[in-house]
Chains A and B, each alone.
Chain A
Amino acid sequence: MTVYESDLPGVGKKHEVELGDGARLVIVTHNSGKREVFRRADADSDSEKLFELSDQLARQVGTLLEGAYFQPVQTDKIETLLGGDTMLEWVEVGEDSPVAGKTLADSDLRQATGASVIAIERGDRVIVSPGGDATLEAGDTLILIGPSEACRDVASMVRGD
């Protein structure tokens, strides 16, 4: 990646980033801190303005792009990829879930989908490697492992939606 930097007297600084397909990303940093981001499809074409950010917002977006920062967001679904197509997934048992009140063996999750429950989080207690007789209750969080598609199937079934 090549970055070209040039001064814009009276305005600020300009950085051009080669995108690889001949296009360039042009970032104009105004003295006021405002950033304007443009794209030039090729050397001959004019810059198309993509968006504009305030100084603070630009820094936050920048660290996000860098992967150095994220604001934890509450989600009901957290996925972690282990490699290959295997996923770890957290899923909460919903009030109307068909598996609520059943034991793990009765719910038949593994046979039906191919994903296994490796732990159950209940309040501040964690049941590790639950046996077939472990009961699933509404409000439990199941930690699943398995192929991503299987995890998704189990998740939608367990959530009860």
Chain B
Amino acid sequence: MAAALLELGHLFVVLAVTGAIALRLGLSVIPLYVVGGVLSGPFVAGRFGLPYVPNGEIVTLLAEVGIVLLLFFLGLEFSLDRLLESRTQITRAGVVDLVVNLPIGVAIGLVLGWSLVESLLLGGIVYISSSAIITKSLIDLGWIANPEAEPLLGTLVFEDLFIAVYLAVVTSLVLGGADAGTGSIVQSLAVAFGFLGLLLLAVQYGTSLFARLLGGAGQEAFVLRTLAVVVPISGAALALGVSEAVAAFFVGMGFATSGHREKIERRLSPIRDVFGAVFFFWIGVGTDPTLLAAAAVPLVLAVVLTTPAKVLSGYLGGRVYDLSERRSLRAGLGMVPRGEFSLVIAALAASGSTPVMREIIPAFAVGYVLLMSMLGTVLMGQSSVIERRVFRDGEERSEPTGG
């Protein structure tokens, strides 16, 4: 018991320190939590004979709660009404984003001789932008009040919905059918969509139940009751071979319409932040940096190909929203950071059966998220320089009025 408590203490010390470093450097905490995990895990600290945090059951369980809460919050924020309200713009921008970026990742995997499932995992990792990093950058840079915030956030909403469906499918493929025949893949897909369909029905018609469940509860009871719904349902999903993350997403959607959304966000976000940090740490702990060498080829290919691809798809998304070329370019630069959901996909891959899934893809994802989160933040911060370079003529003409 003492050892476990110390292990957990070690973990929180590393998180606190890396968090402080991130704040000092003005970087996103997500990549630094991952780096903290890598450095204090068995593959770095362990190899040098230093005390290290093992990739054990406790950290894994807490990290799993982190995934569940991250997706639960995503569902909470996700409003189908909002999506339907501006569906033509969001859908167009979102489809462009999907069609440009997902196939590039899949193609890289196929070119490297990976299986279709492995390539699909790679596709998802390079496709999904980081809502957390992008939203924070938007607020920090003040872009949140500019027109480019709308295509950016709209596309993220589309990605969130897509990632729910994607995770549902890919989880079945990874857990259910990677080494089995088509029959068992179909069966596990059927189980997944059956379970999620039932869950969606419960969410659709259970709003009043959710509302009553939380109504009048005190602060502590409120938090506990919410967790008492999300965690068991996610656990049941995982037991059936269905994505626990997607289950949590749907439960979040159910709570979103219960009239308690803001209260849940206020009261549970500290819990999400704690477990989310553990999740990023856990990803790092499980990463052997020497495997980054093995992942170097896909990593270089992915960074070189997907950075301009995201800028392009973001630009086109901006044009769908009738933004000027400058603002559209900015929207493109803003979509570059990748983060939490790429890592969620990597965590799923790590539970797969092939060496590529267990080792290469997680190492790839860690390297990719580190590079893209930093590159993306830099691109956003330097956007005025880039805009001036790209639109030299337009800038000179519009300077006197725009200044």
- A-B complex is real: yes
Q: Of A11, A26, A42, A49, which is within 8 A of B153 by CB?
A: A11
**One of B142, B153, B402 near A47 (C-beta < 8 A):** B142
Closest to B131 in A: A10
A70 to chain B, nearest CB (A): 29
- CB-contact partner of A38 in B138, B142, B154, under 8 A: B142
Cβ-based interface call for A111 (8 A)? no
| Residue B145 at the chain A interface, CB threshold 8 Å | yes
Which residues, 146 to 166 on B, are CB-close (under 8 Å) to A? 146, 149-150, 153-154, 156-157
A2-48 with Cβ < 8 A to chain B: 6-11, 14, 26, 28, 31-32, 36, 38, 40, 42, 44-48
Contact A10 B145 (CB under 8 A): no
Residue of B nearest to A25 (CB): B145
Neighbouring B residues of A7 by C-beta, 8 Å:
79, 82
The distance from the CB of A99 to the nearest CB of chain B, in whole angstroms, is 56
Q: In the assembled complex, which residues on chain A have CB atoms less than 8 Å from the CB atom of B138? A: 11
Please determine whether B149 and A8 come into contact, CB atoms closer than 8 angstroms: yes
Decide if B401 touches A14 in the complex (CB within 8 Å).
Answer: no
Q: Taking each of B146, B156, B401, which has the highest tally of chain A beta carbons within 10 Å of its own beta carbon?
A: B146
Give the contacting residue for A9; candidates B143, B145, B156; CB below 8 A.
B156
Q: Which of A31, A32, A36, A42 contacts B145 (CB 8 A)?
A: A36
- Residues of chain B contacted by A8 (CB below 8 angstroms): 144, 149, 153
Q: How far is the CA of A32 from the CA of B266 in the complex (A)?
A: 7
A11 touches B139 (CB 8 A): yes
* Minimum C-beta distance from B269 to chain A (A): 9
Q: How far is the CB of A56 from chain B (nearest CB, A)?
A: 14
* The one of A10, A26, A42, A47 that contacts B156, using a Cβ cutoff of 8 Å: A10
* Top 5 closest pairs, chain A to chain B, by CB: A47-B145, A38-B145, A26-B145, A9-B153, A10-B77
Give the size category of A's interface with B.
Answer: 20 to 34
A-B contact count (CB 8 A): 57
Q: A44-B398, A44-B402, A45-B402 are in contact. Are A9 and B77 (CB under 8 A)?
A: yes
Q: Is the CB of B262 within 8 A of A47?
A: no
Instruction: Point out the residues of chain A lying under 8 angstroms from B401, CB to CB.
Output: 42, 44
Tell me whether A6 and B135 are in contact in the complex, defined as CB-CB below 8 angstroms, given that A26-B145, A36-B144, A47-B142 are known contacts: no
B275 at the A/B interface (Cβ < 8 Å)? no
Contact with A along B220-239 (1 / 0, CB 8 A): 00000000000000000000
Main secondary structure of the interface of B (DSSP, over half): helix
Contact with A along B46-83 (1 / 0, CB 8 A): 00000000000000000000000000000001110010
Q: A11-B153, A14-B149 are in contact. List 19 more A-B contacts (CB 8 A).
A: A7-B79, A9-B79, A9-B82, A9-B156, A11-B139, A14-B145, A31-B262, A32-B266, A36-B144, A36-B145, A40-B146, A42-B401, A44-B398, A46-B142, A47-B142, A47-B146, A48-B142, A49-B142, A49-B145
Between-chain CB contacts (< 8 Å), 13 pairs: A7-B79, A7-B82, A9-B79, A9-B153, A9-B154, A10-B153, A14-B145, A14-B149, A28-B145, A31-B262, A36-B145, A44-B401, A47-B146
Chain A CB within 10 Å — which of B139, B154, B157 has the most? Answer: B139
Residues of B within 8 A of A49 (CB): 142, 145
User: Interface size on B (CB < 8 Å)?
Assistant: 26
Chain A nearest CB from B189 CB (Å) reads 29
Query: Contacts of A32 on B, CB cut-off 8 Å?
Result: 266
Max chain A Cβ within 10 angstroms of own Cβ: one of B82, B142, B143, B144 = B144
Instruction: Verify A11–B146 contact, CB threshold 8 A.
Output: no
- Report whether B82 and A14 are in contact in the complex, using a CB–CB cutoff of 8 Å: no
Cα of A42 to Cα of B144 in the assembled complex, Å = 16
Chain A, residue nearest B265 (CB): A31
Q: Which residues of A lie under 8 Å from residue B150 when comparing CB positions?
A: 6
Output the least CB separation between A32 and chain B (Å). Answer: 7
Write out the residue numbers on chain A whose beta carbons fall within 8 Å of the beta carbon of B265: 31
A residues within 8 A CB of B131? Answer: 10
B88 touches A (CB below 8 Å): no
Q: Which residue of A lies closest to B384 (CB)?
A: A46
Given A6-B150, A11-B139, CB of A44 within 8 Å of CB of B144? no
Q: Check B78 against A11 for contact (C-beta < 8 Å).
A: no
**Is A9 a contact of B157 with CB atoms below 8 Å?**
yes
A145 to B144 CA separation, bound complex (whole angstroms): 52
- Provide the bound-state CA to CA distance between A11 and B262, in Å: 11
Q: How far is the CA of A28 from the CA of B150 in the complex (A)?
A: 13
Give Cα distance in the complex from A114 to B402, angstroms. 52
The minimal Cβ–Cβ distance linking B211 to chain A, given in whole angstroms, is: 19
On chain A, the residues within 8 Å of B149 by CB distance are 8, 14
Assembled-state Cα–Cα distance A38/B150 (Å): 16
A155 to chain B, nearest CB (A): 45
Cβ of B351 < 8 Å from any Cβ of A? no
